[in-house]
Amino acid sequence: MLDRAVLASVRVPLAWGAARLAALGVGADAVSVAGLALGLAGAAAIACGQPLVGLALILCSRVADGLDGTLARMTQPTDRGAFIDCAFDFLFYASVPLAFAMADPAANALPAAVLLAAFIGTGSTFLAFAVLAERRGLKSTAHSVKGFFYLGGLTEGSETIACFALMCLFPQHFPWWAYGFAALCALTIVTRLAVGWVTFGSR
């Protein structure tokens, strides 16, 4: 829901950073790999009982996630870049609830499992819509810079990172954050299913 506004607000600093990386000869794919590594390192820190360190690494990871696409558009966007950008995001998102479950299995395992199930729902509806939208030649007007059709929803990347930040700042309340965000994800799943049902029902 907030991704479009957030991306617009950080477009200028991302362009500046991407230009510096391009001048150094750094490729977009390398930035994507670095972003995933930072995100997984953040999850590892959370699993080891260091949520604030984890949050710092997660935020660095998301900066890299913004830079890679900007850098690709400055140089040469590729299908591989679009693929790993999307795949790495889902791998990162899954790692954070798992990390909290590992940090305190007794308190966090069940809510983490519920949240991961919700992530599967949002991810599968997102990707299924993108595949069929590509088949029909549909284009996204809200996220035209993406390498594929980007179907938004109540819980997008910005909301997910905000929730992860709350989890890291107040880890003792992880179950509440997880259940609450899973409920919001459920609303996203329902709306995406409804949009897909209507959009792809004509033929």
Q: How many domains does the chain have?
A: 1
Q: List the domain range (segments joined by +) for residue 123.
A: 3-199
Alpha-carbon torsion (164, 86, 6, 72), positive or negative: positive
Residue 112 sits in a domain whose CATH number is 1.20.120.1760
49: left (phi over 0), alpha (psi -120 to 50) or beta: left
pLDDT the model gives residue 180:
97
| CA–CA gap between residue 120 and residue 127 (Å, rounded) | 10
pLDDT the model gives residue 35:
96
pLDDT the model gives residue 132:
87
State the pTM of this model: 0.87
Tens of each residue's pLDDT in the chain, 203 residues: 665 776 776 788 888 988 999 999 899 999 999 999 999 999 999 999 999 999 999 999 999 999 998 999 888 888 899 899 999 999 999 999 999 999 999 999 999 999 999 999 999 999 998 888 888 877 765 544 555 556 667 788 889 999 999 999 999 999 999 999 999 999 999 999 998 899 888 66
pLDDT the model gives residue 131:
87
135: left (phi over 0), alpha (psi -120 to 50) or beta: alpha
